[in-house]
Amino acid sequence: MAKFQGAIVVDREKCKGCGICASICPTKSIGMSKEVNGKGYHFAILVNEETCVGCASCGHICPDGVITVYRAKVE
């Protein structure tokens, strides 16, 4: 079975830190950062790079559309 590894890129300045992506992530790969962005929000970050499978659930639900999702096949 082919294995996939995913990654997300979050637009840190636009993220409002609502945490919905972290709550619905099926592999619990997303968390909220300790630092804050220009508006004072704790933005979303990829906390576990190995477990992300690039399912794009976070991208589909993000209210502000700040998440871009990538997925690559692991040979």
Among 17, 45, 47, 51, binds other proteins (CB under 8 A): 17
As a whole number of angstroms, the distance between CA 38 and CA 29 comes to: 24
User: CB-wise, 28 or 49, nearer to other proteins?
Assistant: 49
Residue among 27 and 72 whose Cβ is closer to other proteins: 72
Q: State phi, psi for 60 to the nearest 5 degrees.
A: -70, -30
- Taking CB under 8 A as the criterion, the residue among 12, 24, 45, 51 binding other proteins is 24
| Number of residues counted as binding other proteins (CB under 8 A) | 33
Q: What is the closest distance, in whole angstroms, from the C-beta atom of residue 74 to other proteins in the complex?
A: 6
